[in-house]
Copies of this chain bind each other. A is one copy, B any other.
Amino acid sequence: MAAANIKQVAKHAGVSLGTVSNVLNRPDLVSPTTRQKVLDAITALGYVRNDSARQLRAGRSRTVAILVLDVSNPFFTDVVRGAEAVVEEAGGMLIVCNSGEDPHREQRHLDMLEEQRVQGLLVTPVSDGRHPRLDAFVERGIPVVLVDRGSGHPSRCSVAVDDVTGGRLAAEHLAERGHERIAYVGGPITIRQVADRHLGAATALAERDVPLDLQLVKTSSLSVDAGRQAADDLAALPPDQRPTAVFCANDLLALGLLQGSIAHGLRVPEDIAIVGYDDIEFAAAAAVPLSSVRQPRAQLGRTAAELLLEESINEDGHQHRHVLFQPELLVRKSSDHHR
């Protein structure tokens, strides 16, 4: 019973091999009596279809892969869950691969996925440049959708979130609450997200009726510790020069800044208002609930999967699309105060 195949099922049921296949794939072509005989045989022998053979014959698999930069990053886990829902809805299976931001592991995974002739690939490549490796997929007829990367490429779809708008939302909110000395805490500025959020915030402030300046506080990383460090720096300033509001490049920085500010005796939001980015799980659970910009992560995954499946089904008529999602500002207590 270790490995029954279709032939043995056919013999056991007293029908031909093709009939068993029909029961499996087009049951309506088979008379009820025969069908039942076959189903009984399948149960009796513990038959399980061999997907390799099926795939070999079909030329492609029903498996969609998602290759992420970091399986333990909540951003990607939410994207995965969104994509999963769509793929499973369509009767497929999503497998998750992790490059860990390592180009070699990315390469290895791409090699194996290409050998497996997956139905499609959702991927956030390690590097942001050109990707000849991905073109090979497309040429082989395997659709590729870029996630949060390199929008605008002509030969594949992409989905991303608009970080410039995110920065704008945060800055506008703070300006509307009457703040006039606003700072942006973040770094390294070489990270696209860090730069885009800064750009959006700075632009929004400059465009106001009374243009405002956005003070830039650079950090060496996007961690809680770096946020605390920034709090030390800000607390050291004389109160009349200290920003009354801070927009942080992500929530880790914001939480560190929040803790550090409180430790320095500053009241949040009265003395210093804080807005973070990402709306991580702990944002709402902080000592002072943290305002934050939320990205529609699951939506990103869902849409990516939908674009992929559409391309996969409608191979010829498919038009590549580049979907840009808008983030959303969640105002919580850390910035909910009018000056």
**Chain A interface residues toward B at CB < 8 A:** 1-3, 46, 48-56, 59, 61, 71-72, 74, 77-78, 80-81, 84, 88, 93-98, 100, 105, 108-109, 111-112, 114-117, 136, 139-141, 224-225, 252, 255-256, 259, 262-263, 282, 285-287
Contacts of A139 in B (CB 8 A): 1-2, 46
Shortest CB distance A20–B (Å) = 15
Shortest CB distance A201–B (Å) = 25
Contacts of A105 in B (CB 8 A): 88
Closest to A259 in B: B287
Q: Check B224 against A285 for contact (C-beta < 8 Å).
A: yes
How distant is the Cα of A219 from the Cα of B29 in the complex, in angstroms?
57
How distant is the Cα of A259 from the Cα of B288 in the complex, in angstroms?
9
Contacts of A108 in B (CB 8 A): 88, 93
Closest to A3 in B: B140
Q: Check B93 against A109 for contact (C-beta < 8 Å).
A: yes
Q: Check A81 against B88 for contact (C-beta < 8 Å).
A: no
How distant is the Cα of A286 from the Cα of B286 in the complex, in angstroms?
9
Contacts of A117 in B (CB 8 A): 50-52
Closest to A92 in B: B112
How distant is the Cα of A8 from the Cα of B89 in the complex, in angstroms?
38
Given contacts A50-B117, A56-B52, A140-B3, contact A78 B72 (CB under 8 A): yes
Q: Check B77 against A116 for contact (C-beta < 8 Å).
A: no
Contacts of A252 in B (CB 8 A): 285
Shortest CB distance A211–B (Å) = 36
How distant is the Cα of A46 from the Cα of B1 in the complex, in angstroms?
40
How distant is the Cα of A255 from the Cα of B287 in the complex, in angstroms?
9
Shortest CB distance A88–B (Å) = 7
How distant is the Cα of A126 from the Cα of B334 in the complex, in angstroms?
39
Shortest CB distance A1–B (Å) = 7
Contacts of A55 in B (CB 8 A): 52
Contacts of A81 in B (CB 8 A): 71-72, 98, 100
| Partner among B50, B74, B136, B262 whose Cβ is within 8 Å of the Cβ of A72 | B74
Contacts of A1 in B (CB 8 A): 139
Q: Check A93 against B112 for contact (C-beta < 8 Å).
A: yes
Contacts of A225 in B (CB 8 A): 285
Report 15 cross-chain contacts, Cβ distance below 8 Å, ordered by A residue.
A1-B139, A48-B136, A53-B56, A56-B56, A71-B81, A71-B96, A72-B74, A72-B78, A80-B98, A84-B98, A95-B95, A95-B96, A262-B287, A263-B287, A282-B282
